[in-house]
Amino acid sequence: MSRIGGAEQGLVAMAPQLVRAGVKLDVAYLRPSPGGFQRELTDVGAGVFGVHASGRAGEFAALRRLLRERRPELVHTTLYESDVLGRAAALSTRTPVVSSLVNSSYGPEHLHARGLSPWKVRAAQAVDAATAQGTRRFHALTRHVAEVMARRLMVNPERIDVVPRGRDTELLGSVTQERRDAVRAGLELPDHTPVVLAAARQQYQKGLDVLLEAWPAVRAGLPEAVLLLAGSAGSETPRLRELAEVAGNVRFLGPRSDVFDLMAAADAFAVPSRWEGLGSAAMEAMGVGVPLVCADVAALRETVGSEDYALLVPPERPAELAAALLETLEDRSAAQLRAKAARARFLTRFTLTQVSGQMVEFYERALAKG
C-alpha cells in the first residue's frame, strides 16, 4: 500500500476512528508496496491483505477468494483498478459494494493531458461506467465531483453522498515561530527569506510546470525568494527540472514525511492544479494556517471556499499566479488574515472526527438499502 497517494493517506488517517466506532476494518491492496502503510493499519486493529496476483484475471480471482473467506458486509473500493476489480469481485459474491469518487475523471483536461491516449481514456470510462451500475452507493469528496461523475458514469446523483477527507488537528499542528525556526534551520533558510512551498506528485494534473513558469516573475519582484517542491517524481519530472534551471532558487525536496512542518515554515503554499477532486494539500494547509494561493478550479474553490480564505487564480495562467504569490509574500498582514479565516473554516468542516462520523453514517445508509 503506497504512502504517496491521497486516498491511501486518507484511509490511514481515518482507520483508528472507524475501528473505534465499531467498524471491523479489512484492507486489501493490489500491488506489493514495501514500506507502505501496512504497519500503521495493523497497529490500530485493521486486517491487511495483499492481493498479489498476476494480471487482472488473477487479481479478480484472488479478491473473490478473499471475499469468500472474510465475508464482509460491505466492500468499499477506491481508485480505478480497485474500483473495477473490487466491484466485479463483490458483485460475483453478492456482497454490497460502494465506491469513492475522488477525482473528476474522463473530462477534456484528461483527453489532452501529456502521455494519455484519448481512446484509452474513453475505454477506461466505459469499463468504469459498466461496473458502476451494480454499485450500491458512491462517496464523492466534493459536490463538484459528485455532479460531474454522475454524468460521466451514468449513475443517479441520489446514489452519491458527499463527504470530504479529514485530518487530525494535532498531527497538522499550527504555525509557531519555534516550529518555523526549527524547520528553516534544517533547510538552511534565513527567517527573512520569502519561501513558497508546493507539495504534490510531479504529474501533469498538479500544474507544477505552471508554477515554475510563474517563478521568474516572482523572483523579479523578490530576487531572494525560494521555491520548495516536495513530492515524488513522476512523468513531469524531466520538464520540471528543465524549467527550474531557468527559474532559479528552486529546491526539489523529494517525498517528505514532514510536509506539515514545511507548511508551517513557508510564507505561502501554492496549489496550481489543473484539476482536483478535493485538494487535500490545500485542505491541510488551511489546517496548519499557512497563506494559500490556489488555481481557481471547481473542487479547490469548493474546498477553500472563496477569496476570503485564499487567493484564487485561473488555472494555467503563470502571470496571474506570479502576481498572486507576490501579493501574498509582500502583504503579510492580509495574507495572515486569510490564513486565520481558512484555519477556522478547516475546523468547522475537515477535522478527522467530523469526517469519520460522516463516513460511518455513509456505510450505515449503504447497508440499510439491502
Query: Span 80-100, mean pLDDT?
Result: 96
pLDDT score, position 4: 53
- Choosing among 1.10.1660.10, 3.30.420.140, 3.30.420.40, 3.40.50.2000, the CATH entry for 169-349 is 3.40.50.2000
- For the chain, what are the domain ranges? 6-166+352-368, 169-349
Q: Cα(314)–Cα(297) distance, rounded to whole angstroms? A: 7
Does the pLDDT of residue 272 top 60, yes or no? Answer: yes
Strands, E assignment, 177-245 = 195-199, 226-230
Give yes or no for residue 187 having a pLDDT over 50. yes
- What is the mean predicted confidence (pLDDT) over 173-198? 96
Q: What is the mean pLDDT of residues 328-333?
A: 97
d(CA 293, CA 329): 11
Model confidence at 3: pLDDT above 60: no
pLDDT band at residue 303 using 50, 70 and 90 as cut-offs: very high
pLDDT at 66: 96
Task: Render pLDDT for 130-157 as a digit per residue (tens, 0 to 9).
Answer: 999 999 999 999 999 999 999 999 999 9
Same fold, 6-166+352-368 and 169-349: yes
What average pLDDT does the segment 222-251 reach? Answer: 97
- pLDDT at 230 exceeding the cut of 60: yes
Mean per-residue pLDDT of the chain: 93
Closest C-alpha to 142, from 306, 363, 302: 302
Inform me whether the pLDDT recorded for 370 exceeds 60: no
Beta bridge partners of 331: none
Q: Is the pLDDT of residue 250 over 80?
A: yes
Of 254, 244, 251, 325, residue with least CA distance to 290: 325
pLDDT tens digits along 174-185: 999 999 999 999
Cα(126)–Cα(134) distance, integer angstroms? 14
Whether 335 has a pLDDT exceeding 60, the answer reads yes
For cell 497497529, the residue is: 43
Question: Which of 29-33, 273-277, 317-321 shows the lowest per-residue confidence on average (mean pLDDT)?
Answer: 29-33
Looking at residue 9, its pLDDT comes to 80
What is 6-166+352-368's CATH superfamily? Glycogen Phosphorylase B; (3.40.50.2000)
DSSP 158: G
For residues 296 and 118, which has the higher predicted lDDT (pLDDT)? Answer: 296
CA 47 to chain centre: 24
**Amino acid identity of 252?**
F
